[in-house]
Chains A and B, each alone.
Chain A
Amino acid sequence: DAKTTQPPSMDCAEGRAANLPCNHSTISGNEYVYWYRQIHSQGPQYIIHGLKNNETNEMASLIITEDRKSSTLILPHATLRDTAVYYCIVKIQGAQKLVFGQGTRLTINP
């Protein structure tokens, strides 16, 4: 699996958009970008994934650059409950192993 690089921590004001970057410069053509988050004392939770097109669901949006070497997870209106560690993972769709890095600790401030 390709390696990802994320900032260790970020802050965002409640109600504002939280933009979490991820670099994956060695991503292969058949690898997808997945995002999970882990709220304190809970198991990780799937957020969204994509290959090359931008994706949106009820939780977030995923913007992948044209060269696919980086991506941004967007939480459009962050709330205090979005405070968590966010993990960016690249893997082949259908491959079952998830390799977690250190993630980004996002703190939403009131």
Chain B
Amino acid sequence: DAGVIQSPRHEVTEMGQEVTLRCKPISGHDYLFWYRQTMMRGLELLIYFNNNVPIDDSGMPEDRFSAKMPNASFSTLKIQPSEPRDSAVYFCASIRGGTDTQYFGPGTRLTVL
């Protein structure tokens, strides 16, 4: 299996622009997670899905952030409008329910100028 796939790997945008990050979980995994990592706040869980349904979005920082999972093999995290403080590495992870190992993708490094 190719593992969790994220795109793009790097994104540089200007303040106010819309940013869309993409994730393809491992086939057969029914949970998908979005994390954000910064030097100041470390690794934070933003939202997670089970069977394409959002279960816990308490970590989503504000209304500018939204996440969707239209099907079992694809999820997006959108920031609109983006701000410089959104600059971070965003990780996607997936897990098969009933198992113990979350598999993380390589991350998307977002820079908002």
Q: Is B102 an interface residue (CB 8 A)?
A: yes
The distance from the CB of B93 to the nearest CB of chain A, in whole angstroms, is 7
Please classify the interface of chain A as helix (H, G, I), strand (E, B), loop, or mixed, using the class held by over half of its residues: loop
Contact A97-B106, Cβ < 8 Å, known A43-B93, A49-B100:
no
Contact residues of B between 87 and 113, Cβ < 8 Å to A: 91, 93, 95, 98, 100-107
Q: Is the CB of B101 within 8 A of A99?
A: no
The distance from the CB of A59 to the nearest CB of chain B, in whole angstroms, is 12
The distance from the CB of A98 to the nearest CB of chain B, in whole angstroms, is 6
Q: Is B12 an interface residue (CB 8 A)?
A: no
Contact A43-B91, Cβ < 8 Å, known A97-B45, A99-B45:
yes
Q: Find chain A residues with CB under 8 A from B95 CB.
A: 96
Q: Is the CB of B104 within 8 A of A45?
A: yes
Pairs A-B, 8 closest by C-beta atoms: A43-B104, A100-B43, A46-B101, A43-B91, A44-B104, A96-B31, A43-B105, A43-B107
